[in-house]
C-alpha cells in the first residue's frame, strides 16, 4: 500500500472513466470517386473518436499500461518522444486525468533553452516535466545503463516506464482489440505506422481472410523487423496477415509537402472528416494512390483507421 512518504502527490482522481473499456469506435463509409472507379469501397474506422483527450491508438496503447501502473501503485509515468510526439501529449493528458506525475524525456538537447513548441507546451500545461537529452543518448535509451542514467537525471528513477511511441507488449495487445472490432468487415484494414505497434496488434485481432496494411510515415525499411519483434513479445510469435506499403513517407517524419497538404485539405472538404497531417494524411494518400494503381481487387473494401485528430 501507499504510505505518506511518496513525495508530492497529485490531486486524487477517479481513474475509472479513462481505464474502463470503451465501446467500439464507429465505422463510416465514404463515397470517393478515386476508389469507386476502381470498384473499391472505402470505409473509415473513426478511432479518433475513441477518447476525447487520448485519441485513437494512443488510448488503445496507453490504457493497458495505465491500468498496470495504477494497479502497481505507481505515482509517476516516464516516457520518450520527439518535440512533436502525439504520444508525449497523450501521456501528459493521461497523467492529468489520473492524477499521476509524468516525465517526458525529449529528443534534442538543443531544445532545452528554447521556447516550447505548441505540442510540448501542452505537455507542460498538463503537468509533464520535460527533460531534454542529446540525440546520441536518445538513440541509446534501449541500453539498460543509458536508460537508468537518463531516468536518474530526469528525477524519475522509480517511475513506470512506457517506451517511445508507447509500443510495448501490453500496448500491442491493446491494439488487437481494434482488429477484433473490425472482424468480418473489409478485406484490407490500413493504418499509418510510426513504431508499428498499432499494426502489430491490429493484424493479430483481425479475422480469417482479412489483412492489415501498414503505411510507414518514416523513411527507413527497418519497420518489418520491428513489427515481427513486437508480435513475438506480445503474442509469442507471428499473428495475423500483414504487409507494408513503402514509399509514402513524403520525405520523412512530420514532413508535409504542399501536395500532401492540398490532398488532406481536399479530403476534409469532401468528406467532413478532420485529417491529422503527420500520419493520417499519408495513409489516405497512399490508399488513393494504391487504388489508382489497381492494387485492390474490384469488389473489395478497404478500411482506413483514422488513428488521430489534427
Ligand X SMILES: *Cc1c(COP(=O)(O)O)cnc(C)c1O
Q: How many CB atoms lie within 10 A of CB 309?
A: 16
Find the angle CA(268)-CA(263)-CA(213) to the nearest 5 degrees. 90
Of 90 and 98, nearer to ligand X (C-beta) is 90
CB of 12 to ligand X, least distance (A): 29
Of 149 and 309, nearer to ligand X (C-beta) is 309
Of 75 and 235, nearer to ligand X (C-beta) is 235
C-alpha 87/C-alpha 132 separation (Å) is 16
CB of 185 to ligand X, least distance (A): 20
Of 56 and 95, nearer to ligand X (C-beta) is 56
- Contacts with ligand X by CB under 6 A lie at 56-58, 86-87, 165, 167, 192-198, 276, 279-280, 307-308
Of 56 and 169, nearer to ligand X (C-beta) is 56
Q: Is residue 132 a contact partner of residue 111, using CB atoms and an 8 Å limit? A: yes
Of 101 and 166, nearer to ligand X (C-beta) is 166
Q: Is residue 205 a contact partner of residue 234, using CB atoms and an 8 Å limit? A: no
Which residue has its beta carbon closest to ligand X?
Answer: 308
Of 169 and 197, nearer to ligand X (C-beta) is 197
Amino acid at each position: 500500500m501507499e504510505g505518506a512518504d511518496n513525495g508530492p502527490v497529485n490531486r486524487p482522481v477517479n481513474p475509472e472513466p479513462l481505464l474502463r473499456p470503451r465501446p467500439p469506435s464507429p465505422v463510416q463509409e465514404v463515397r470517393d470517386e478515386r476508389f469507386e472507379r476502381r470498384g473499391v469501397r472505402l470505409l473509415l474506422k473513426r478511432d479518433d473518436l475513441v477518447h476525447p483527450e487520448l485519441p485513437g491508438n494512443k488510448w488503445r496503447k496507453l490504457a493497458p499500461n495505465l491500468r498496470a501502473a495504477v494497479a502497481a501503485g505507481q505515482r509517476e509515468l516516464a516516457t520518450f518522444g520527439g518535440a512533436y510526439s502525439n504520444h508525449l501529449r497523450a501521456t501528459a493528458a493521461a497523467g492529468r486525468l489520473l492524477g499521476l506525475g509524468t516525465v517526458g524525456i525529449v529528443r534534442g538537447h538543443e531544445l532545452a533553452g528554447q521556447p516550447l513548441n505548441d505540442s510540448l507546451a501542452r505537455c507542460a500545461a498538463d503537468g509533464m516535466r520535460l527533460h531534454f537529452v542529446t540525440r546520441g543518448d536518445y538513440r541509446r535509451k534501449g541500453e539498460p545503463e543509458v536508460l537508468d542514467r537518463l531516468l536518474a537525471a530526469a528525477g524519475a528513477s522509480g517511475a513506470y516506464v512506457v517506451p517511445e511511441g508507447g509500443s510495448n507488449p501490453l500496448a500491442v495487445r491493446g491494439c488487437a482489440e481494434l482488429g477484433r472490432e473490425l472482424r468480418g468487415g473489409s478485406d484490407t484494414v490500413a493504418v499509418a505506422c510510426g513504431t508499428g505497434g498499432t499494426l502489430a496488434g491490429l493484424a493479430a485481432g483481425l479475422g480469417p481472410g482479412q489483412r492489415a496494411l501498414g503505411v510507414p510515415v518514416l523513411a527507413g525499411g527497418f519497420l518489418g523487423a520491428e513489427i515481427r519483434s513486437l508480435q513475438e513479445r506480445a503474442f509469442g510469435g507471428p499473428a495475423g496477415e500483414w504487409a507494408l506499403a513503402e514509399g509514402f513517407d513524403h520525405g520523412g517524419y512530420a514532413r508535409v509537402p504542399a501536395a500532401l497538404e492540398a490532398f488532406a485539405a481536399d479530403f476534409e472538404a469532401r468528406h467532413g472528416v478532420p485529417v491529422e497531417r503527420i500520419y493520417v494524411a499519408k495513409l489516405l494518400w497512399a490508399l488513393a494512390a494504391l487504388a489508382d494503381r489497381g492494387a485492390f481487387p474490384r469488389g473489395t473494401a478497404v478500411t482506413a483507421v483514422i488513428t488521430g485528430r489534427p
